[in-house]
Amino acid sequence: MTVGTSITRREGYNKLTGRAQYIDDLSFPEMLHGKTVRSTIAHGQIKNIIFDPAFDWSVVTIADWRDIPGRNIVALIEEDQPLLAKDFALHYAEPILLVAAETKEIAETAVSHIKIDYEELPAVFSIQDSLKSSVRIYGENNVFKKYVIDQGDVVEGFRESTHVIEGEYIVRHQEQLYIEPQGVIAVPREDGGMTVYGSMQCPYYVHKAIKANMALPDDRVNVIQTVTGGGFGGKEEYPSVIAGHAAVLARKAGRPVKMIYDRAEDLAATPKRHPAIIKHKTGLDQDGKINAVEIEIDMDGGAYATLSSVVLSRAAIHALGPYKSPNVRIAARAIATNTPPNGAFRGFGVPQACFACELQMERIAKQLRIDPIDLRRNNLLRLGDITATGQRLDYSVSAEQVLDQALEHSRFYEKRDLYERQRKEDPDSPTIKGIGVSLFMHGAGFTGSGEDKMKGQAGATLTKDGRVKLLTASTEIGQGTRTIFVQIVASEIGIPIDLIEMEEPDTSKVPDSGPTVASRTCMIIGGVMQRVARTIKEALTEFVAERFGNTSIEIKDGQFVDSEGKSLIAFQEAAREYQEVRGALEVFHRYSSPPGIKWDDDEYKGDAYPVFSWAADVIEVEVDHDTYETTVLNITTAQDIGRAINPVLAAGQVEGGTLQAVGYALLEEVVSDKGRMLNNSLTNYIIPTSVDTPEIHTILVENEYPFGPFGAKGVGELPMDGPAPAIAAAILNATGVLVNELPITPERLEKSWRGL
């Protein structure tokens, strides 16, 4: 069986030879190049647009909001964001006008000859200012969304507690920094429709957005995902914006229009991870058991709602981490500011919540002088326990198992003792070492009733030559979708992987599997794929049984065999004959939740996710006493992702997510002035290079989930959640200083260390 083996990436050959066609590698006859004119202020009224008469405007196509044939919205959860600003700009870099020309250079020159006059209005740039200010960005109070999760009685819980400990945690923007910037090409169709090619995670999101902008029916819009050079959530919602822009220009010019952002524009204008302020209050009994928890989360959503409500919801549900408490109150708000909208980024609210939760555990351990490992072990969730939303954990609960594995493989206790000894023996050493732990979990799939509403669809058909062709809008963005789906189907049917191919991700050819987000592709759509494969197997088995007059047959290694193992007919031949006799075979299934899953959207209670993945990180650091620089020496991570369909690809997810989180912890900082990103360049927005990267030791713990395909759960986001607090814990271990803000730059560590 191919599931559980590390077959090589299906599209690997094309990626390794330079043949893979990314969006900027494509070209169409008569194609123009589009650019965006953006707001240069954070908040104001657009008064006048001046086109410099010195420029020859006949050589370009200009479009503004009046050129949008349909609705001037970015069709997401809410409809507050215009595709092109009409009267007001609510944030720096908000799109106002579009320009298309024969070359990029002409389009850029044209943009530099457009001047926009504004009447500037007061603006707010922080959560605190937004809540106090009279500036109105959204609704009556600048609050996009609010959730409260309540369990037990926190007032009583704190009253009964022996210790009550409070802490505040602050996290900031992080950029996804896919190495391929955002890009699309819109091609007008002869029937008046629009074809959009692009770098994206969710072709059907773009499909929905273009239909709204262009006032076109379903069948007049098709969206094709090109090979995509990284997403990490950054290509979840934003492609709907750039695709809308290209389509408006293409419609007006009557020609294909390519829009590719350069890095500076991509960094300045596109969504980032939500900054947040998170407050914890924890009550514990005399044995160090948590008795009451109160958590407040305030997230900065930016100027428009985009996906903030769902990011916030996931943060709130994960706020207590993998721990239990009889009394819980979690209050979470997403707040509007005059900054570019924040959006989806791997982890989707959990890295923020997890940083706060895990550092609160460290704070408690420090104040009560108990071992942080014992504190965690004393409070972690076990099989049958109840989470803050009232979910009973019936399957695949591994908090203690991953913790034990990470401690053992990293030789945690031995190293902690060693570093402590070294610090005592050589107190004047310019560098000090420390070791820290984080324990965390991540719900796979959409939150609450999301998957039941989405009913993600996938299918397969038989090709004329007797192969199985998979039909899905779940995209390959580097994580391995195209490979693991083939493995799941091959293993379920019992055929070699070369008998399986995949339809291209074109909305006119594949069903809506839902977006490629939320660690849902393997577990949710992979599960649908397994059912599709089972139906195909059953149909062909029944056909072959009838033909050979033998009902005890099965498929082995691509052959139908009888009960004695004698080969009757090859799968491929049977699939060809099936179609000759019975016609085409096309199978579709939709996702439906496993039995017993219940969620109440109004009360925010119930089974928040079908199942959780679990992980523990042990991270060793060296802190320089003179420069306050932190170097990560070693990372050991144990991650229970259920069955690993392809262990090399799964470990690749873990390592990549872990390093992205090391960047979040130590390096990556968006520096802004009045809502404008100042370091919108790879020269000074720093992500980890190979020399910043420690050895990452990955242990895949495979606690199978009975309702996932072959026992698989989610893996994509989990590794992003834990490293930042583990690094902060290691710095605390080394220095005795708890830094409650990210990123832990030398400046910030110095401030905390010297008590400035």
Partner 1 sequence: MRIGLTVNGQKRETDAAPMKRLLDVLREDLRLTGTKEGCGEGECGACSVIIDGEVVNSCLVPVCQADQSTILTVEGLAENDRLSWLQQCFLECGGAQCGICTPGMLIAAKTILDSDACGSRSAIREGIAGNLCRCTGYTKIIDAIERAVIQNR
Q: Does 213 sit near partner 1 (CB under 8 A)? A: no
Non-local (6+) Cβ contacts of 421 within 8 A are: none
Point out which span in 1-9, 288-296, 436-444, 735-743 binds partner 1 (CB under 8 A): 1-9
Q: Based on CB atoms, which residue is closest to partner 1, 18 or 384?
A: 18
Given candidates 5, 15, 386, 455, which one binds partner 1 under the rule CB under 8 A?
Answer: 15
Q: Shortest approach of partner 1 to residue 175 CB, angstroms?
A: 10
Q: Does 20 bind partner 1 (CB under 8 A)?
A: yes
Sheet harboring 500-502: ordered strands across?
A: 500-502, 468-471, 457-462, 586-590
Q: What is the DSSP letter of 557?
A: T
Beta carbon of residue 233, minimum distance to partner 1 (angstroms, whole number)? 12
Judge contact between 380 and 400, C-beta under 8 A: yes
Tokens of 436: 């820290």
303 touches partner 1 by CB under 8 A: no
Of 225, 461, 660, 745, the residue at the interface with partner 1 (CB under 8 A) is 660
* Region of 12-20, 122-130, 215-223, 604-612 interacting with partner 1 (CB under 8 A): 12-20
φ/ψ region of 649 (left if φ > 0, alpha if ψ in -120 to 50, else beta) reads: alpha
Phi, psi dihedrals of residue 486, rounded to the nearest 5°: -60, -40
Cα–Cα dist 676/269, whole Å: 9
**Residue 411, CB half-sphere, CA atoms under 13 Å: how many?**
6
Structure-block tokens of residue 410: 């990293």
CB of 570 to partner 1, least distance (A): 28
Q: Work out which of 34, 82, 181, 511 binds partner 1, going by CB under 8 A.
A: 181
Of the residues 80, 237, 492, 655, which one makes contact with partner 1 according to CB under 8 A: 655
Out of 133, 631, 693, 746, name the contact with partner 1 by CB under 8 A: 693
Record the tokens describing residue 444, joined without a space: 């796979």
Burial 128-155 (b: 16+ CB within 10 A, else e): ebbbebebebbeeebbbbebebbbbebe
Nearer to partner 1, 188 or 256 (CB): 256
Q: Does 492 bind partner 1 (CB under 8 A)?
A: no
**Nearest distance in Å: CB 266, partner 1:** 9
Contact call for residues 81 and 91 (beta carbons, < 8 A): no
Please list every residue from 227 through 256 that binds partner 1, using CB under 8 A. Answer: 227-232
Residue of 5, 6, 592, 593 that binds partner 1 (CB under 8 A): 6
Burial class (CB in 10 A: 0-12, 13-18, 19+), 79: middle
Does position 678 interact with partner 1 (CB under 8 A)? The reply is no
What mask, x for binding partner 1 by CB under 8 A, covers residues 460 to 479? Answer: -----------------xxx
Q: How far is the CB of 412 from partner 1 (least distance, A)?
A: 21
632: tokens are 């990560």
Q: With respect to partner 1, which residue has the nearer C-beta, 346 or 748? A: 346
- Gyration radius (Cα) of the chain, Å: 27
Cβ 260 to partner 1 shortest distance, Å: 9
Out of 155, 179, 215, 678, the only residue in the binding site for partner 1 (CB under 8 A) is: 179
Name the segment binding partner 1 (CB under 8 A); options: 73-81, 165-173, 388-396, 648-656.
648-656
Q: Which of 256, 258, 242 is nearest to 209 (CA)?
A: 242
| Of residues 348-387, those binding partner 1 (CB under 8 A) | none
Residue 345, interface with partner 1 (CB under 8 A)?
no
- Three-state secondary-structure class, residue 29: coil
What one-character-per-residue DSSP string does 95-161 give? EEEEEEESSHHHHHHHHHTEEEEEEE-----SHHHHHH-S--SSTTTSEEEEEEEEES-HHHHHHH-
Binding to partner 1 by residue 19, rule CB under 8 A? yes
Helical (H) or strand (E) element with 721: helix 718-721
By the rule CB under 8 A, 658 interacts with partner 1: yes
Among 169, 178, 578, 604, binds partner 1 (CB under 8 A): 178
496 binds partner 1 (CB under 8 A): no
Which range of residues in 205-213, 221-229, 411-419, 743-751 is near partner 1 by CB under 8 A?
Answer: 221-229
| Residues binding partner 1: number (CB under 8 A) | 55
User: Which residue among 301, 347, 450, 480 contacts partner 1 (CB under 8 A)?
Assistant: 480
Residue 538 found at the interface with partner 1 (CB under 8 A)? no
Query: How many residues in the chain?
Result: 756
Helix (H, G, I), strand (E, B) or coil at 512: coil
Task: Please say whether the beta carbons of 34 and 111 come within 8 A.
Answer: no
Give the shortest CB-633-to-partner 1 separation in angstroms: 13
- Region near partner 1 per CB under 8 A, out of 111-119, 171-179, 278-286, 611-619: 171-179
Characterize 469-484 residue by residue with b for buried, 16 or more Cβ atoms within 10 angstroms of its Cβ, and e for exposed.
ebbbbbbbbbbbbbbb
Residues 22-61 that bind partner 1 (CB under 8 A): 22, 24-25
Q: Which of 239, 652, 708, 714 binds partner 1 (CB under 8 A)?
A: 652
Cα torsion 494, 496, 497, 501: sign: negative
3-state class of 248 per DSSP? helix
Confirm or reject binding of residue 691 to partner 1 (CB under 8 A): yes
What's the min distance (Å) between Cβ of 718 and partner 1? 14
Work out whether 523 is an interface residue with partner 1 (CB under 8 A). Answer: no
Q: Residues in the site for partner 1, rule: CB under 8 A? A: 6, 8-9, 11-22, 24-25, 176-181, 227-232, 262-263, 477-480, 648-649, 651-652, 655-660, 681-683, 687, 689-691, 693, 695-696
